[in-house]
Every structure is written in C-alpha cells, then in structure tokens.
Structure 1
Amino acid sequence: MTSAAALDAAAALAAENPSAAIASLPWLAASLADDAASGRFAAWGRSTIVDENVGAAVLPRALFDELHARAGLEAAWPVGNAGLMHVYGYLLSTTPTPYGLKRERWLTDDLALACGLPRGAFSPSTGSGTLLSRVTAAAASLLSRPDAIDEVVGGRSSRIALGDALPDGATALAYAVDGLVITMFPIADPAVLRSGLGAPRLRWNAA
C-alpha cells in the first residue's frame, strides 16, 4: 500500500526535482511506462490542471511536464491528458480543495465501493494492472449506463453518469467529453448534483 506520507514526500520533492520524485515511487514510474506502452492514455480527454474550485493549478508546472514526458504525451500548460493528471498527478497534489485533497478518491474506499468494487480496488500501488487501467474500466462501465445524462456544449458531446446509490445515498460519478473520459469521483448526494447542473457546459476541469 502507498502511504500518504510517501506521497507527501514525493510531492515535496517534485517542486524542485520531479524526476526524482517519480523515481522515489517505483510503482508510479512503472505504471507510467506500462500505460504509455499500452496506449491507455488515449481513452482520456483533455483537462486543465487549474482547478475550477481553487482557481489555481494543483500541480507545479515542472511535475506536469515530467509526467507528460514520461507518458509520451504532448501538452501545453495548463492543459494536458485528463487521465494522466486526474489519476497520477492528483496523487502528488497537496493543494487543499473544498472537497479535500484530490488524491483521497484513490486512497480511500469511498469511490471503489460506490462503483460496486471491493475495498482497495483503486489502491495505487497494488491490485491487478495499473491504477489507470482499473480506473478506466470502472469509468467506462459507468458511462455505458442507459440513464446517463447527455449534453451538447458548443457542438461537443458530453456525458455524466452516476452509479447506483449506496445505503448512505453516496454514489460514483464519471464524466466524458467527445467519448473520452475526463474524470471520476465519489458524490455524497446525487440528487443535489442533478438539481444543480444548470445549463450545459464543460464541467470538472474539462478543456
């Protein structure tokens, strides 16, 4: 299991030496190489690392650039591959948001359980396959639901999918634009989310 302390140490190192930060987490370096070789990042769309709730980048530019270089992806700050940033980049983000740290969705069991998966299903350094491969599969399953919400924004199609609610009402959300995954996270109250959607727009840092 990857500890929050290990991620904090890597995040602190990343500001000055992002290559060393990634190397300090051997599973991360291996996962990036595996996902790049397998073309898994192609299932994900584009996102900005400037969080809409915070109004600032949640990763330093040096780490943003290093992650994309290791993944073999071109990116123009602050817009890059959503899977790379939301799955792996968020693990090294220490920027507080109104919903806590971005990494919590992968380190706690809330999202896994909301997806109908066992505890630890999104553990970054353990499990079958890379974290990105597991997240992509879970997001694709949600997005295939017939009750997903489809929107059209400036000629671009988007889809918001919610899973079945747990006993406490929480569920999982997956979001895609133009058929490419943008993000996935747990939702405490899906009814509140549905009522607050308003007019169609690009959501959750999609670019």
Structure 2
Amino acid sequence: MSTPDRAEALADLERAAAVPGWLAEQVEADAAADRFSLWGRSTVVDENTGSPVISEALFAELHRMAGLDAVWPIGNAGLLHVYGYLLSTVDTPYGRKRDRWLGGGVARAFGLPDDAFAPWFVAPWFVASAARDSTPLERVVTVAMPYVEDPAGGDATLMWVDERGPGPATDTHDTFARTVIVQARSGATALLYAVGTGGSLLLVTLFPLAWSASDRDGAAWLAAIEAGVPRLRYNAIDGRNVASAQLVDRRVSRREG
C-alpha cells in the first residue's frame, strides 16, 4: 500500500473530483481486513446543512472500492466519515468535514500527535501496526473502539450517555446509542458516537469539540448534552433507515477520578 506525503495528499484532496489512487488503496486495505464491519450506517446528507457532503458519484465509487452495497444517500459510516469526509470540499458551520482528521482536533483529544489520523505517513505511535502499513481508518478504530466498548475504563473519558429506543418492527432488539466525550490533559476534547442493536455497538463518527467564548470550559455545552432529548444524532441511521429517530431511555455517566 502506497502512502503519500503531506503535500501530495493535500493537493489530491483539494481536487477531489475522483478518488486518488493512494486513497483507493487505503480503502481496499480496510475492506480486505473487514474493518468497515466495525462501523454502522450513516446518511451522507449533513444534518446541519441539509446537503450531501460528497457527490453521488463519489459515494458510489467509494462503496464500490470497499465492496459494500449501499443505496444513496445511506452508506457505511466509516467509509463516509473517514474517506468521504477527507474528499469533501463542502463548507459547514463547523468548517470542512476533513478538518477533524487533517487539523488534529480529534487526535489531540486522545493526547496524540496532530497527524495521528491523517492519510499520509505518520511516525509510529501505536503498537498494533507499523505506521506505513496502516490506514487512517485503522488508526481511528484502534483508538476509538476501546472507548465505545468500555467508556468507564478509558483514560481520557470525561462522560458518556447511553440511550435506547424502539428497533425495527421486524427486530426484537432496541436501538442502542452511546455518546462518549473524551478529553486530554491539555483540555482538547472530542466526541465519539456509536449505534447498534442487541448490545453490539458500531462506530458512527468522531469529531473535535470547541467551546464558545461565553462557555470557556465547556460546562454549558456538557450540561446541554446531559439534558438532551433522547434521539439518534450525527447523521446515524437506524434499522428502519431513519435519521434522528426518537429514543427513550437515557442514562448519563461520568468517569470517577
């Protein structure tokens, strides 16, 4: 698998009319390792703007490369939120979707180097695999899944919220959603989100959190999370192909110590 340098990757992503060859190799490597099975489903239509973050053609091409079936606009969350976001040139109220991976916001929340989840070559920083042979999605999964599965055991966990609600009419399992807020000693903070059924959680997204000038320590934002109405969030799709579906039971926890 070839890995671009930073300048090459940034130039290719700015063009984004087609999937660069090196990124296609990364997608194919993740597909061969079955890493997309660790992710749930998401709509490509951003809940803030109401518009797709990538074109239908790119959506179809990415899923073809990954060997995944998908019907626009609903696809694999890992494919869309990692590779689709890297290719997205759409501006949102929070900047471009790719900024979370290229700007280091998510990485810093785990106490990692800024380029820990970038698509270019990074210095080795975890034991699971040599950096030159790893993909950004692989590195995201390696870091995020332990927090999804056991937020209480995560060194960087600040708080987490578990929500449940009705599943599909043909399914006896309820939809289960988990929000995890992580924070490094530096104060860098990020949100992880996962959704599943029957007790099995699949990743949906990760993004950095930035507080407003009037909420410097994030207390108001975190209080709003604690008091939020139970529902699916962050473009996640349930088994009925519904985004923002209503949930019911809600439990908020904070890591002790």
| TM-score, length of structure 2 as denominator length | 0.72
Q: Is 1:135 paired with 2:140?
A: yes
Larger Rg: 2
AA in 1 matched with 2:188: A
Name the structure 2 match of 1:39.
34
Count of residues paired in the alignment:
195
Shift of 1:165: 4.4
Structure 1, residues 14-44: CA drift from partner, whole Å, max 9, x if none? xxxxxxx22xx23201111111111000000
1:126-205 mapped onto 2 (5 Å cutoff) = 126-127=121-122, 128=131, 129-143=134-148, 144-146=150-152, 147-154=159-166, 155-167=174-186, 169-178=187-196, 179-189=201-211, 190-197=218-225, 198-205=228-235
Kept after mapping to 2: 8 A contact 1:48/1:80: yes
* Deviations 1:37-56, CA, capped at 9 Å, x for gaps: 11000000000000000101
Q: Is the 8 A contact 1:153 1:202 kept in 2?
A: no
C-alpha distance 153-109 of structure 1, shift in aligned 2 (>3 A): same
Report the counterpart of residue 94 of structure 2 in structure 1: 99
Residues 117 and 137 of structure 2 are in contact (CA less than 8 Å); yes or no, is this contact kept in structure 1?
A: no
SS in 2 for 1:105: helix
- Distance between the aligned counterparts of 1:165 and 1:171, measured in 2? 7
CA RMSD of aligned residues (A): 1.5
Post-superposition CA distance 1:48-87 (Å, at most 9, x none): 0000001011110010000001000000110000000000
Cα offset for 1:124?
Answer: 0.8
Which amino acid in structure 2 is aligned with residue 185 of structure 1? F
Instruction: Tell me which amino acid in the other structure corresponds to 1:149.
Output: V
Contact 2:193 2:203 (8 Å CA) reproduced: yes
Contact 2:43/2:73 (<8 A) preserved: yes
Distance 2:184 2:137 in 1: 24
Indicate the residue corresponding to 1:67 in structure 2: 62
Answering whether residue 58 of structure 2 is matched by residue 28 of structure 1, we say: no
1:51 is the counterpart of 2:46: yes
So what's the TM-score if we normalise by structure 1? 0.88
User: Hey, what's the Cα distance between the residues in 2 that align with 1:77 and 1:71?
Assistant: 15
> Is it true that 1:8 corresponds to 2:14 in the alignment?
yes
Is the CA contact 2:86–2:98 (under 8 Å) kept in the aligned structure 1? yes
Structure 2 distance, partners of 1:49, 1:56, is 8
State the match for 1:113 in structure 2. Answer: 108
For the residues of structure 1 that align with 2:121 and 2:165, how far apart are their CA atoms?
38
**Unaligned ranges ≥5, structure 1:** 14-20
Higher helix share: 1
Identity %: 49
Check conservation: 2:78, 2:137, Cα contact below 8 A.
yes
Aligned residues of 1:45 and 1:177 also touching (Cα < 8 A): yes
1:139 maps to a residue whose letter is: A
5+ unaligned residues in a row in structure 2: which ranges? 123-130, 153-158, 167-173, 212-217, 238-257
CA contact (8 A) 1:142 1:173 kept: no
| More displaced 10-residue stretch of structure 1: 108-117 or 76-85 | 108-117
